[in-house]
Structure 1
Amino acid sequence: MKTIKIMTLILLNLFLLFGCFSTEENPIEIDYESILDTFWENYLIEATYQNIESSDMIEEINILGYYYYVKDLGDDATRSYIGDEGILYNLHAIIKFKEGSNLKPQYYNYQWISRTLYGQQSLQERINLEIIDDGIDLTEYMSVLKSDSHNFIEKFKSELIDDMTEESKLETKIYNDTYMYEQINPYLSNVNNIIERDNIIYLVKEDKAIVARYKESEEFNEVVILSEIDGIPVTEIYPKAFMNIKIDGLIIPSTIEVIGEESFTYATCIGIIFEDNSQLKVIGRRAFYGAVFLEITIPISVEEIGESAFEVTRINRIRVEAIEKPDGWSDYWVGDDQVVIWGYKTE
């Protein structure tokens, strides 16, 4: 009984957090403006649209139902992966808190994530709802909450960027460029040259060139990976090279042999095309995890695919040139809800 009372109080707090409800037609209204205003008034003195510096420890706090993360260390131990529910919106910001708020000034990665919402729904489903019989349709509530939150945060992002001065936009660009190059530092051993072509950073070694990172453009363009740089073949796409990017399409040359782990995690791309006679052999673990794209055909040359490489991928079907799953492919290379077409022949 004590447990039920505690959980009931938690539920009441959740309801109070997101406003009042009635049982009339279209009864659910979530006052996000008031929620954020309360946060800004009580805690915030400055926010700037910017990438988070890759240092310091991850800490997690929960204010008014929102999750905030302090600096991402950039490794699997500290980064949050949330799977199919996905990140509804991810806004990088520098947030400084007022004195007396019991929160030290820090760089924060401001994330509105649907895991918060699913967590609330799970809690509500576990509680005996008959204890609080006020006619709230929780299914409808969660549906409206998820939809409205996405639209609201999109609007919030636009307003935040509009408030930036030209000087701060320039500073942000310089910071982003510096941050991008800091990210590839772990891969710089035995590198003879770093070349940037069409927003792609290539690391040129003695016998091969590697795609290290794609610097996302403001325009939604088709991206073409070069097959060679100064006569040296481009053979590999490094881990996280296209992570979270949005592009119109991607052409991968036949020289690419390896697509690294998480190379396209959460990326959005209308279509990925492998050139004829592809030499691709390895697709790493979680390479396309959570990615959104219309089509892809896995070349017959692929000998190894890691676990969850195509899990939670938002695509109607995945075409495979192989007639059946090769021995080197993980048994869990694709999600249960994906349609796989085996023995596909490219026209």
Structure 2
Amino acid sequence: MTDPEFELGRVYDRDEIHSNWGGSRYSGIAHSRTTPNVMIFSDPAKGRPYGYIDDLALYDDEGPLVRYTGEGRVGDQILAKGNAAILNHREDRRAIRLFEAVGYVNGSSARLHKYLGEYGLDLSNTHIYAEAPDENGDLRKVIVFQLRPVGATAEPSIEMVPVMPGITYTDFHEAAEPEPIEVLASKLVEPENNAASAFVRKAIEETMVRRREAELVDRFRALLEADGHEVKRCQIPIPGLNAMLLSDVFDVSDNVLYEAKGQADRNSIRLAIGQLFDYRRYIDPSPAALAILLPEAPHDDLKRLIESVGLELVHEEEGRFVGWPVKAR
């Protein structure tokens, strides 16, 4: 068996893909036993009526994002077989290769697939759960993996990108624990990755900040829910663009929108200010208050900055949240 390089943006048929890289010719998730790859195949236009709700061209505050629905056509999906192959791809040292259906082999019902590039699970939130119909029309729970590009990627076909009208409010869902930082570091510095030490340090630092932010959000959400508040997130599609914004915490009960950051430095606070004002443009009715959520108190000058633009500040201090509850001005 040959093992040629994947060619970004090239269109392949399934026979060519699996003859070269292994894996089942008939699975949406093809876990190869002969090469270190997990190949995933998306056909959003065809799969959506059956609960496959792939979004291939999303963009949030962390950058490009793909949402890919796991396998299982009837009943609740579980983290087994192909779904487990995606979840464990780093531990198994396998690359996730994303293909998009773009046409048909001449004179056949067999699909052609465009190679979009290598992806990896989002370290801070590997997957969420959603309700979707199965092939019998019954609602069930599906696993939606959250993937980030690894290196360069090809653009998906524009006609395949789902259009999502209006703002939706999505529940928080439990996700698998991110890999410990020590494991991530050891994998990044292995010889085959050819990663420079500066890149490794940056990746570790960014992952630590993102984990710290996620843990802060979890603690604050627990506080709100214990106090009887309804907690959601705002999912905002951008008109005219294949992009979506996703907020951190929306306190439905008090109508307060929060943006969380994993550290209380100037750049993080500046970014949070811009994000909150950006989100507010699309939310109707507008939130009663906008607030920045931090793991510790920022410098006094940054407190004055937050106050000067009319935002509220909530920060953690010795196990309690100073500045909460937020009152609308």
Q: Same fold (TM over 0.5)?
A: no
Which one scores higher on RCO, CA 8 angstroms, separation ≥ 6?
A: 2
Q: Of Structure 1 and Structure 2, which has the larger fraction of its residues in strand?
A: 2
TM-score, normalised on structure 1?
Answer: 0.27
The structure having more radius of gyration, on CA atoms, is: 1
